[in-house]
Amino acid sequence: MRDIVRPNRLDLDSPGRRDYWVALEHDSIWGDHLIPLTVWVGPEAKPDQGLVAFGSNHGNEYEGPVVLKNLLREIRLEDVRGRLIFVPVLNPSAFRAGTRESQPDDRVNLNRAFVDGAGRNPALSGITHRIAAFVRESIWPRVHVVIDLHSGGNVARFSPCASYHPVDDPDLKKRIDTTARWFGVPSIMVYQNATPGLLPSEAERLGKITVGTELGWGCAVNPEGVRYGRQGVLAAAIHEGQLSGTIEPIAHHAAGTQRVLEMVDRECFSVAPFDGHYEPLLECGSEVKRGDVVGLLHDFDHIDQEPFAVRAGVDGVVLAQAWVAPVPRGQHIVVVARVLPS
């Protein structure tokens, strides 16, 4: 049985394994949102060292929750050296609704909620911002490795990738890149850091080894994505001294075929100029030249018009495309990333 506790009653420091429901006050009913959290603390744990892995930052992305739920049964306390914290469902409101945002409650995107005053400013006091405050106050001080497991949901189909932002510290960059490669995915995505309120951005600013992922799409569970996610979490835990054991490279990591793909410039993003329905012509992972047609955007209100050709903005690789056919004006429907030297 999991103990239901408020954040101030969590024990993330004493030796052993503990399984919790972390209770945060519900916004609309007389009750709580319950966040599942499991912590293992081994004999070599240090106060500010450990690994946290999050699933369901967005509520309709399911590889992460499946990976972490499976590992709850797999990891043995006697193998834990340091500190492991697993949160399979970080945003229970969105997860229960099957939506990207906390749709039944404050309708906020948790991966935009790590902003100044989150959970403290009265204007930012809904459940999503209070989850961000919980992570800041209870989790960040106890870990140096952050794994944020994402998928495309209904927004986009990706070439499976591990991801991070450009960071200035060369040692931190190397440790992040090494951690990302161990997922075994075909693509390592280095992406723009202009979006406010991202969980990984805050973790990086705090100097933590931070890796995100895109492991699937379509609100389904991609078995390949689950395999990549499990590999990446275990490799990070072992290599950062939190879990004993050895691990071998898999897939594209083992084969030496991983590509580092950078999408930090606006030219990488092709935007829908009108509401329409998207028809992809190429698969994610395809190599393209600037100006190549990647897909077609159809306007069925003007059914006799030629479709709009969606073109690659740069030379590179099609990293992501719209997954659901109906797209609103302004959505990034194609992302082409530049290939960086390995």
pLDDT reported for residue 342: 73
**pLDDT tier at 29 (50, 70, 90 boundaries)?**
confident
pLDDT reported for residue 244: 98
Tens of pLDDT, residues 97-116: 999 999 999 999 999 999 99
- From the centroid of its chain, how far is CA 167? 18
User: How many Cβ atoms are within 10 Å of 294's Cβ, its own excluded?
Assistant: 24
Q: Determine if the pTM surpasses 0.85.
A: yes
Helix residue ranges, H only, the chain: 63-74, 92-97, 127-134, 170-181, 199-205, 223-239, 251-255
What value does the CA radius of gyration of the chain take, rounded to a whole number of Å?
20
Q: Where are the beta strands (DSSP E) in the chain?
A: 3-5, 16-25, 32-41, 51-54, 83-87, 145-148, 156-158, 161-164, 187-191, 209-214, 259-263, 269-271, 276-280, 287-288, 293-298, 308-311, 316-322, 326-327, 332-340
Please determine, looking at this structure, whether the domain spanning 3-263 carries the CATH number 3.40.630.10.
Answer: yes
Residue 166: pLDDT over 80: yes
Tens of pLDDT, residues 198-233: 999 999 999 999 999 999 999 999 999 999 999 999
Q: In the predicted model, what is the mean pLDDT of residues 29-58?
A: 97
What is the token pair recorded at 120?
């403290």
| Mean pLDDT score across all residues of the chain | 97
**pLDDT tier at 245 (50, 70, 90 boundaries)?**
very high
Residues 6 or more apart from 179 whose CB is under 8 A from it? 145, 162, 209, 211, 232, 235, 236, 239, 240
CATH of domain 267-340: 2.40.50.100
Compute the residue count for the chain.
342
End-to-end CA distance of the chain: 47
* Cβ-contact 85, 51 below 8 angstroms: yes
Q: Tell me which residue has tokens 């500190």.
A: 83
Comparing 3-7, 48-52, 123-127, 308-312, the range with the smallest average pLDDT is 123-127
User: How many Cβ atoms are within 10 Å of 173's Cβ, its own excluded?
Assistant: 16
Tens of pLDDT, residues 114-142: 999 999 998 899 999 999 999 999 999 99
Tens of pLDDT, residues 302-338: 999 999 999 999 999 999 999 999 999 999 999 999 9
**Helical (H) or strand (E) element with 169:** none
Burial class (CB in 10 A: 0-12, 13-18, 19+), 157: buried
Domain-by-domain residue ranges, the chain?
A: 3-263, 267-340
Q: In the predicted model, what is the mean pLDDT of residues 61-66?
A: 98
Helices 223-239, 63-74: inter-axial angle, 10-degree rounding: 50
